[in-house]
């Protein structure tokens, strides 16, 4: 077990979103992912174009419910149904605690692939699909496409790989600089990288676009990009 920052311990190739990670998650992720809060704020505003009374929203990988709180607050005058899906029980408990004042939200503790999804106007995956095994990602994106109403939107933020080895080296170096600038030590950065082996498997930008297009999405736009982190908006 090694320190990965913010007093979070992890083993080689065995990063987990449970235990102590839950209590330190929001602080850790804000220091680890560029424009993390700005991404939240952008998604909240994009929702204005797709959410109306009786809309259903899915949040795949709801984690602690921070994004859900912001969306529900902005849409408090609308009768939307917000459904968070989270596979980690500790995260589910934390999200339910944080969202207990909202009556129109539910947190389902299960694998998204096990669920029959309602027709939805907005589906969000905020840095969550990158942690799913590559062999099921196309099935998941297909499922998301089928679940959306016509004109509905899928917002997907992902860490992305460079388009070739040279760009990947540049992106990796810039991201390491970002983490050092945010107070992580070299040892913590290396330990986190080791813990994510086989757990976090980013695709390239093109790889993610291919997933979306194979599922049926035609209208796709990049709405945020910083180093190796990108947000995509796909409309059915």
The string of pLDDT tens digits covering residues 156-209 is 999 999 999 999 999 999 999 999 999 989 988 888 888 777 778 999 999 999
pLDDT at 28: 84
Q: Positive or negative, the Cα torsion across 144, 150, 155, 159?
A: positive
Cα separation, 70 vs 48, in Å, equals 12
pLDDT at 197: 73
Per the structure, how many domains does the chain have?
1
Q: Nearest Cα to 17, choosing from 72, 122, 90?
A: 90
Q: Is 164 helix (H, G, I), strand (E, B) or coil?
A: coil
H and E: helices and strands count for the chain: 8, 10
Residue pLDDT, tens place only, 30-44 = 999 999 999 999 999
68 touches 59 (CB < 8 A) = yes
For residue 49, give the DSSP letter.
G
pTM of the complete model: 0.92
**The pLDDT of residue 15 is above 50:** no
Cα separation, 64 vs 135, in Å, equals 26
Q: Where are the alpha helices (DSSP H) in 1-131?
A: 20-32, 36-46, 66-74, 89-98
What is the C-alpha end-to-end distance of the chain, expressed in Å? 44
- The token pair at 162 is 């460079």
Q: Would you say how long the chain is, in residues?
A: 236
Residue pLDDT, tens place only, 62-96 = 999 999 999 999 999 999 999 999 999 999 999 99
CATH code for the domain in which residue 12 is found: 3.40.50.150
Cα separation, 183 vs 69, in Å, equals 28
Tokens 């408990």 correspond to what residue?
93
The phi and psi torsions of 97 (rounded to 5 degrees) equal -65, -45
State the average pLDDT for the chain. Answer: 92
**Enclosing domain of residue 101:** 2-235
């Amino acid at each position: 077990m090694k320190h990965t920052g913010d007093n979070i311990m992890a083993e080689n190739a065995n990063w987990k979103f449970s235990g102590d990670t839950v209590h330190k998650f929001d602080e850790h992720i804000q220091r680890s992912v560029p424009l993390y809060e700005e991404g939240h704020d952008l998604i909240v505003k994009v929702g204005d174009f797709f959410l109306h009374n009786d809309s259903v929203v899915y949040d795949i990988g709801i984690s602690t419910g921070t994004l859900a709180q912001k969306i529900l607050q902005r849409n408090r005058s609308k009768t939307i149904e917000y459904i968070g899906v989270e596979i980690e029980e500790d995260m589910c408990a934390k999200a339910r605690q944080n969202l207990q004042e909202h009556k129109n939200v539910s947190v389902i503790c299960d694998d998204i692939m096990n669920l029959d999804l309602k027709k939805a106007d907005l589906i969000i995956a905020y840095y969550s699909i990158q942690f799913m095994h590559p062999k099921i990602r196309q099935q998941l994106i297909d499922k998301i496409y089928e679940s959306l109403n016509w004109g509905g939107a899928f917002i997907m933020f992902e860490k992305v790989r460079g388009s070739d080895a040279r760009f990947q080296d540049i992106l990796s170096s810039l991201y390491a600089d970002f983490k050092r600038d945010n107070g992580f030590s070299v040892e913590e950065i290396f330990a986190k990288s080791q813990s994510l082996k086989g757990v976090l498997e980013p695709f390239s930008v093109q790889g993610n676009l291919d997933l979306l297009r194979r599922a049926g999405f035609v209208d796709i736009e990049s709405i945020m990009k910083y180093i190796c982190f990108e947000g995509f908006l796909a409309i059915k």
